[in-house]
Structure 1
Amino acid sequence: MKNLLSSLKITVPENIFIKDPESSELGKRIIENSISLIDDIGFDAFTFKKLALNIGSNESSIYRYFESKHKLLLYLSSWYWAWIEYQLVIETHGVSNNKEKLIKAIEILSRTTVEDSNFMHINKVALNNVIINENSKSFLTKEVDQENKDGYFVIYKRIVQRLRDMIINAAPNYQFPSSLASTIMEGGLHQHFLKDHFSTITDCNSKVMPSDFFVNLTLNVLKL
C-alpha cells in the first residue's frame, strides 16, 4: 500500500480553491504551515495574516489560492478524507469475508493516525489533530446546504456510502446502515476528542482505542 499511495495524487473538489496549492511550492507551504498553525492555535484564532507571517509571504498571496479561511478548512478536510478513502479502498480490497472487511474498514476509519513518508509537505498526525478538533466547523455553517449542492463534501459522503455498503453486505437485514455508517465516521473523531480532553466520559484511553469500541458496537448491533 505504501508504494501505491506514493504514486497517487490526492484529489480535492476544484471549486474549493482558486488555485491548486499542489501546483506550486508556495501552495504547498501554505498547506503545510496552515496545518501546523491551526494545530497549534486552533481554527478560531487562525488568520491568513498569521499564516503569511509563518511562510514569510504577504496575505494577498494566500488569497490567490483560497478566498477565505473557511475554504482552506474545507480543503484540509477534503484532503484528509480523500487520504483516508485511499487507505480504505486499498486495505480492504483483498478481503473477501464481509464481516472481516467491515471490521477492517472500521479500524481504518477510527484508528490513531501515524506519520508516513508520502506527501512530505503534509504532516498527517497534525492534520488528524486538526480534523478531530475542527472538522465540524467545516459544515456547521448557514451555507452548508449550498456547499453540499456544490459538492464540497462529496468525498466525506462517499466514504460513508462505502461503509454503508459494507454494513449491508455483512448484515443485509439491518434497517439503519447509513445511520450506523455516519455514526462510526463522526463518532471516531468524537471519541478521540473525548479521550484527549474529557477522559472521564469515555472508556477510550491509551489501551482502549476508539476503533475497539466501534468494532464492538457494530458487531453487537448487527449480531455478527
Structure 2
Amino acid sequence: MNIKTNITLSVCSSTFKKDPVSSELGKRILRGAIDLIDEVGLEAFTFRKLALKVSSTEASVYRYFESKYHLMGYLVSWYWSWMQYRLTLKLANIEDPMDKLSRTITMLTEKIEEDSDFLFINEVKLSKIVVAESSKLILHKNVDESNEQGFFVDYKKFVQIVSDIVLEYNPSYKYPHMLTSTIIEGVHFQYFFTEHLPKLTDVIEGENSIETFYKEMLFNLIQKK
C-alpha cells in the first residue's frame, strides 16, 4: 500500500492568482510550462506559446498567473518545498548531525528522478530549470519586491533547515546560512558547468566529484576545534 498519497506541498500564494493544482487545466499549465521553459528558456517563454502548447487560451493562463515571472516563482517555490519534503524523508530517524549533513549533500548533488507522488510535475526537467533559470528571479532590480511578496520563502525555509543542522554539528560556527546558500548555488553552477562549460569544473570518471568536493568543503569548514 502506498501511504504517500494525496500529498500537497505548500507554495507561496503570492506567486499565483488561482492555485494551479486545484484544477486539471492548472496542472496542464504547470506541465506545459515546465516542458516549454526547458525547451526554449525563460526569456523566449511566453503565455501565448504556453497556451498553444496546452491547447487553451492566453486568457486562461492569466487566470492562474499574473506574469511569467510569477509562474517561474511558483515553480521554484514548489521545487524547494519538494526538496524539503524529500529531505524530511531522508533524515527521518537520523540523530547524528554529521550523518544528517552528509545525507543532505548527497541529496543536493544526486541525480534527480521523477517522483510518482506528483504526476503533474516533471521533477527532472524542473531541476534543470532551477539550475539554469532560478537565479533570474533573484538577480534583478525588483528582487526586494519579490521577496516582500514571499517568492523565496520556501528556499529560505530549506536553507534554514540545513543551517540548523550545521549548528547541531558545531554550535559555534558563525556562518551557517552563508555556507548553506553557497553550497546550494555552487552545486547548481557546477552542474551547469559540467553540461555546458566543463573547463570550469572537474569531472572525474566513476565519481560524483561535485558531491565529494562539497562534502570535503563543508566538513573542513565546520570541523570542531
Maintained 8 Å contact 2:7/2:117 = no
One-letter code of the match for 2:216?
Answer: N
1:204 to partner: Cα distance:
3.8
Classify 1:3/1:172 alpha carbon distance in 2 versus 1 (closer, same or farther; 3 Å).
Answer: farther
What's the CA shift string for 1:104-159, capped at 9, x where partnerless?
11222232211231211211101111111101012222221122122221110011
Aligned to 1:112: 111
Classify 1:47/1:24 alpha carbon distance in 2 versus 1 (closer, same or farther; 3 Å).
Answer: same
Classify 1:120/1:102 alpha carbon distance in 2 versus 1 (closer, same or farther; 3 Å).
Answer: same
TM-score normalised over the length of structure 2: 0.93
Determine if the alignment matches structure 1 residue 191 to structure 2 residue 190: yes
Determine if the alignment matches structure 1 residue 84 to structure 2 residue 83: yes
What's the CA shift string for 1:74-105, capped at 9, x where partnerless?
00000011000001122112111111111111
Classify 1:18/1:105 alpha carbon distance in 2 versus 1 (closer, same or farther; 3 Å).
Answer: same
Measured in 2, the distance between the counterparts of 1:173 and 1:204 equals 34
Aligned to 2:213: 213
Maintained 8 Å contact 1:5/1:86 = no
Maintained 8 Å contact 1:35/1:123 = yes
Classify 1:173/1:137 alpha carbon distance in 2 versus 1 (closer, same or farther; 3 Å).
Answer: same
Unmatched tracts of structure 2, length 5 or more: none
Maintained 8 Å contact 1:110/1:188 = yes
Measured in 2, the distance between the counterparts of 1:49 and 1:75 equals 18
Aligned to 2:127: 128
How many residue pairs were aligned? 223
Maintained 8 Å contact 1:111/1:210 = no
1:5 to partner: Cα distance:
4.4
Maintained 8 Å contact 2:167/2:176 = yes
Aligned to 2:21: 22
Aligned to 1:99: 98
Unmatched tracts of structure 1, length 5 or more: none
1:127 partner SS? helix
Measured in 2, the distance between the counterparts of 1:19 and 1:126 equals 23
Measured in 2, the distance between the counterparts of 1:79 and 1:4 equals 21
Measured in 2, the distance between the counterparts of 1:13 and 1:116 equals 21
Identity %: 41
TM-score normalised over the length of structure 1: 0.94
1:205 to partner: Cα distance:
5.3
One-letter code of the match for 2:172?
Answer: N
Maintained 8 Å contact 2:19/2:64 = yes
CA RMSD in angstroms comes to: 1.6
Classify 1:105/1:140 alpha carbon distance in 2 versus 1 (closer, same or farther; 3 Å).
Answer: same
Measured in 1, the distance between the counterparts of 2:25 and 2:62 equals 12
Maintained 8 Å contact 1:21/1:65 = yes
Measured in 1, the distance between the counterparts of 2:216 and 2:4 equals 29
1:221 partner SS? helix
Maintained 8 Å contact 1:6/1:119 = no
Aligned to 2:67: 68
Would you identify which runs of 4 or more consecutive aligned residues in structure 1 move more than 4 Å? Answer: 2-5
Classify 1:45/1:205 alpha carbon distance in 2 versus 1 (closer, same or farther; 3 Å).
Answer: farther
90-99 or 76-85, larger mean C-alpha shift: 90-99
Measured in 2, the distance between the counterparts of 1:36 and 1:169 equals 40
Maintained 8 Å contact 2:105/2:214 = yes
Measured in 1, the distance between the counterparts of 2:13 and 2:174 equals 35
